Amino acid sequence: MNDTTLVLSSFAEDVRHGLLQTPKTLPSKYFYDEQGDKLFQTIMGLGEYYLTRCEFEIFSEQKEAILRSFLGKDDSFRLVELGAGDGTKTKVLMNHFLQTGTSFTYNPIDISQNVLDQLKSDLATTLPKLQVEPIQGDYFDALGELNMNHSSKEVVLFLGSNIGNFSNESGQQFLNKLGENLSPGDLLFIGFDLMKDPQTILNAYNDKLGVTKEFNLNLLRRMNNELGANFDVDQFTHFPTYNPINGETRSHLISTTGQEVYIEALDTTVRFDAWEAIHTEVSQKYSPKMITQFAEKAGFRIVENFTDEGHYYVDSLWEKI
């Protein structure tokens, strides 16, 4: 069985599980096919989508302070990035580290070998002096491997508020397991989108140009293309919500009419009532108190919080106790 068959089989099984339960759900990880990647790149440049700009601001304006915090009493470290993607934001830091003569090795970790190959090739051109050692596989397996084979301090990056794609309970479980795979003195540099004006948050997930809407609807197009479904995309709309009490942003696709959709790969017909919702994504927002509780429960102490000028976003540096 080739890799494509494995991916499609997993996709089909997750669609079966999500659309046949009540309420209906679809995993947000399937947003990211080729078209989804392009749409998300566009989203990151939108005026309403403040998250990427805020993290760029933090890295650009505070890179020297970040480096000092990473070094501590040591003069070298191993920089480990979970889900590195194209490494755009990380390059801001790594370029500064190289310019200052800092001794470090970069270990991007990703489940996709293709992503890692592209990143390594790009870095060979943009940062030719950088020592890059990609690791393909599960985050925790890769971290365990590093801990067994290396003695240098690890600085783990988990950027872009990716932790916000977890519920609070599953996010805590993820951080607990992450802590178990680090040694005392290792550092975790993790991005959190902070609670703020609810309208500012909603605008980031419901932009005026409708790009975020297309990003969500692309999930239906992907099922049509890859699973032989017959979704009429025009009969669905995108609807985000934000709860300022618990900080949870949720995205939904809503059927605007009663309809049936046949999915060939599953040989299954899915019934939608008019105005029935499919939950597609969680994007959690955090208070400083929530971040502190996360760190303490996972066995870390907060070393320093780096925030943008508007205090919309924080990159929090934690040390494993």
Q: What is the pLDDT of residue 150?
A: 63
And the tokens for 48? 């309403």
Of residues 57 and 41, more confidently modeled: 57
Q: What is the pLDDT of residue 1?
A: 43
CB hemisphere CA count around 70 (13 angstroms): 27
Kind and range of the H or E run holding 249: strand 248-255
Query: Does residue 49 register a pLDDT over 80?
Result: yes
Helix (H, G, I), strand (E, B) or coil at 254: strand
pLDDT band at 149 (very low <50, low <70, confident <90, very high): low
Of residues 20 and 8, more confidently modeled: 20
Q: What is the pLDDT of residue 87?
A: 82
Q: Report, as an integer, the average pLDDT of 120-141.
A: 91
- What's the pTM value of the predicted model, to 2 decimals? 0.89
Kind and range of the H or E run holding 3: helix 3-19
pLDDT tens digits along 178-237: 999 899 999 999 999 999 999 999 999 999 999 999 999 999 999 999 999 999 999 999
* Those residues with Cβ within 8 angstroms of residue 158's Cβ, 6 or more apart along the chain or in another chain: 81, 82, 83, 178, 188, 189, 190, 191
| Cβ-based burial of 285 (10 A; exposed 0-12, middle 13-18, buried ≥19) | buried
pLDDT tens digits along 150-182: 667 899 999 999 999 998 999 999 999 999 989
Give the single-character DSSP code of 217.
H
pLDDT tens digits along 50-106: 999 999 999 999 999 999 999 977 778 999 999 887 788 899 999 999 999 999 999
Query: Does residue 9 register a pLDDT over 80?
Result: no
Q: What is the pLDDT of residue 7?
A: 46
Q: What is the pLDDT of residue 8?
A: 55
Query: Does residue 6 register a pLDDT over 70?
Result: no
Query: Does residue 5 register a pLDDT over 80?
Result: no
Query: Does residue 133 register a pLDDT over 50?
Result: yes
pLDDT band at 145 (very low <50, low <70, confident <90, very high): confident
Go through the domains of the chain in sequence order and give each one's CATH number. Answer: 3-31+200-284 (no CATH), 50-194+287-320 (3.40.50.150)
Q: Report, as an integer, the average pLDDT of 252-262.
A: 98
Of residues 143 and 162, more confidently modeled: 162
Q: What is the pLDDT of residue 75?
A: 79
Helix (H, G, I), strand (E, B) or coil at 219: helix
Q: What is the pLDDT of residue 148?
A: 61
CB atoms within 10 A of CB 188: 24
